[in-house]
Amino acid sequence: MLSAPFITVGVPVYQGELYIEETLQSIQDQTHKNIEVMISVDGVQSEVEEKCQSFLKDSRFRLFVQPERLGWVDNINWLMRQVETPYWYCHAQDDLIDQRYIEVLLAHAQQAPEAAVVYCDIVAFGLQNQNIVQKSLAGDPTSRQLKLLYEHFNAVAFRGLTRVEALHHSGNIRANNVNSFATDTVWMAAMARWGQLLRVPYKMYHKRYHATNEHAKWATWPAEKITKAWITHCAGMLEQAMRVETTTQERRLLWQAAVTRLNSPRFNYISNAGLDTKKHGILLDEFFKHLQTTRQVDIPTLLEGNWQNIYKWTKGFFMHKKPFPYKHYLSSVLRKIKKMT
């Protein structure tokens, strides 16, 4: 009997007949053999089911066909609810992994019990060719959230090996009403509340870029939609950050970080909306309206202020006649965060 910990590999599939065989083969070829692979087909899709059949001869592979379409978020959530093993990771239907991917990540996870997720670098192929690197999130929970808000957008850690305790603590991926834009990054923030996100500096995960990727559609959205998506995303990141048990002063730093993220030109999706300095003021107004309408967290209580005063000092800090010096400001903040960790 194999003694290494079992790992559940969740493979959510929707119209994935083009690449699913190659994907499942890369999982089957892993040097770490003690895995169970759960394939969840999102709605009846005969061609996909047929291409999965040969892998079911391997007792480690199981196929589930959802009777009705769940959507990508709920399909992944369904898979996560089935996890009973010490570790889990989500494998996209069109991506590939090196043969030692699980073996290497597991070895690092076992040596770092404080890590919620252990992940490697991503090699993009297909329509894009680049390496996607995301620094580790270490330190205390507040500094982890600050780093996420200031530095990270790509959900690299989402594809990593996740400890089941962190998974249960953080709960489901939270869908949003703008095609669930960037909810995997918000999931990373939830994981970072539990523990560290640890980078293993190897290029072992290969992400296939093609025209039907969900994120490929974001760049084609009109300005109004991408602006709404970005406001919703930043509110979700703020909610996770505000759940950290910390002081009022540190919560105000987290608030400042979320507003900086909202307005920062570093994140290309909001830049695609064509926002100039004047429009950033409107963006901030809409952000406040969103927070007051959804009431995901009680911001006035957490910041020990009222909406009017919070709005006044926030706008006074960020809205200038001259463009806000984000590059200088971010460099200063990131140096302080580094000292904190």
pLDDT in tens, 187-246: 999 999 999 999 999 999 999 988 777 777 787 888 889 889 999 999 999 999 999 999
Instruction: Tell me the fold of 1-94.
Output: Spore Coat Polysaccharide Biosynthesis Protein SpsA; Chain A (3.90.550)
b/e code 273-301 from CB counts within 10 Å (16+ = b): bebeeeebeebbeebbeebeeeeeeebee
Each residue of 79-120: pLDDT tens digit? 999 999 999 999 999 999 999 999 999 999 999 999 999 999
Could you state, in order of their start, the residue ranges of all structural domains in the chain?
1-94, 218-340
Average pLDDT, the chain: 88
Angular region, 162: left φ>0, alpha ψ -120 to 50, beta rest: beta
Considering only residues 283 and 240, tell me which one the structure prediction assigns the higher pLDDT.
240
Global pTM reads 0.88
Instruction: Over range 133-143, report the average pLDDT.
Output: 93
Residue 66 CB contacts under 8 Å (≥ 6 apart), including other chains = 40, 41, 42, 43, 75, 78
φ, ψ at 65 (rounded to 5°): -115, 115
Helical ranges in the chain per DSSP H: 20-28, 46-52, 72-81, 101-111, 141-151, 164-170, 183-194, 223-242, 248-263, 268-271, 277-294, 299-303, 307-318, 326-340
